[in-house]
Amino acid sequence: PLCFYVLFEANSYSGEFGIYCYESFRPCTAASQCIRPICFSFCVSRFDYQELLHNSTFCLVPRGRRLGSFRFLESLQAACVPVLLSNGWELPFSDVIQWNQAVLEGDERLLLQVPSTVRAVGNERILALRQRTQMLWEAYFSSVDKIVLTTLEIIKDRVFSHVSRNKYMWNSLPGGLFVLPEYSTHLAHFPFYYLGLGVSPGQEFTAVIHAVSPLVSQSQPIMKLLQVVSKSKYCSQIIILWNSEKPPPSRSKWPPMPVPLTVTDGRRKTTSRFLPHVSIETEAVLSLDEDTVLLTSEVNFAFLVWRSFPERIVGYPPRSHFWDPVKRVWGYTSKWTNDYSIILTGAAFYHRYYHFLFSHYLPQSLRTLVDRTANCEDILMNFLVSAVTHLPPIKVAQRKQYKELPIPQGTKSVPWANPEHFNQRQECVNSFANWFGYMPLVHSQFRLDPVLFKDQVSVLRKKYKDLEKA
């Protein structure tokens, strides 16, 4: 029966729980008072089932026609702690999911003990149980695709047991589907486990500069950018991803630097900037466009911020998305406001694991779209990281607004100069949202500035005084 009785919060102030009879909507002194035939249509016409689910703390999940019941998934979706009343039911994916952290099990032969059982659960455990129901729902059960993919990944872990996920990976954020054992099976190699393990990321970064213009002058912006980045005490090496139609210049054409410089063929693919290059040995990656204008102090400050938030994208140039209720599509805007949801990877730090995830988790169709339009790779990376973390990127203070420089004479037009560039990016936002099945981007108004930034005190007291210069 649909509505015999449901456990839900009887008094939002006292926090007491009780069994309510839907027929008279009064507290039941015993469960037997509620176990009476109630007309299905009567329940639906008088009460909103979804509202009751979402307002409930505990939801009874008795057996259906078989041991299981779809009430179980309904409870997970509503963040209502399932109270199982189906002796002998083997829960889905139980060989990897620790269900005792998300559900309560009762004995269907001892129904009268259920009220005392749930009353004995403390508030802290209730919160932990409800949080775990949401984590498991989002990670494995929110779509048929995820259920099928989870099944296949569990089978793969069984076959290739020497390279498989452990239970911690399956039962903690972001879930086993975002943890690719081909990359590593060690928890400390993934950015989203640092906090739980009490470890910190490395103290150096690798700069990857995306170059699309041929080198025709020593005064080009990329030359100054190389000098700026190489002066950072945290810089381990610089990789130039050469995506120009002309061959790269010899090493003698590049300026001398205190860190190793490597020029890699990008095969003229926009997505090549996010390939898992074996030459990247540091955990942190600084992604840069060839025309980015930054100071060494800006690079240093952004890197220190990233070390505190290694699972996120941390950088300078922000953008945002919005919902257009008239056209019923997602929009993309580059207006400078306090609200943002995207950090452009033309000047941003992130963990190198996202290169591997970008290349091995995302479908080939999305990467082909990016390469065909020579656009949107930064938006796709933001979609991916936000889908993993359910968090927005982080913007840091900057000396001045991020602007692309004019195109040098005699060089080929870069993608952002194309009039269709903006329209393509808006179409990309909708294409990416369709594949993910929802909008993973998260809005934020959070910005991190250095201590005493813009404060009316002596610049001698400020560590990053250069950031305040025009």
Q: How far apart are alpha carbons 253 and 239 in whole angstroms?
A: 15
Instruction: Answer yes or no: are the C-beta atoms of 195 and 252 closer than 8 Å.
Output: no
Q: 409 phi and psi, to 5 degrees?
A: -65, 140
Catalytic site residue from 107, 378, 455, 466: 378
Burial label, 298 (beta-carbon count in 10 A; 0-12, 13-18, 19+): buried
- Does the annotation count 378 as an active-site position? yes
Which residue's entry shows tokens 């390939």? Answer: 275
Question: Residue 462's CB: how many other CB atoms inside 10 A?
Answer: 17
Q: Compute and round to an integer the Cα radius of gyration of the chain.
A: 27
CA 159 distance to own-chain centroid? 28
Question: Across the strands, what pairs with 104?
Answer: 83
Identify the sign of the CA torsion 108, 114, 120, 126. Answer: positive
Instruction: Kindly provide the residue ranges of all beta strands, DSSP E only, lying in 299-411, ordered along the sequence.
Output: 314-315, 318-324, 329-333, 342-343, 347-351, 394-396
| Listed residue (394, 236, 234, 367) closest to 311, CA to CA | 394
Residues with catalytic roles: 378
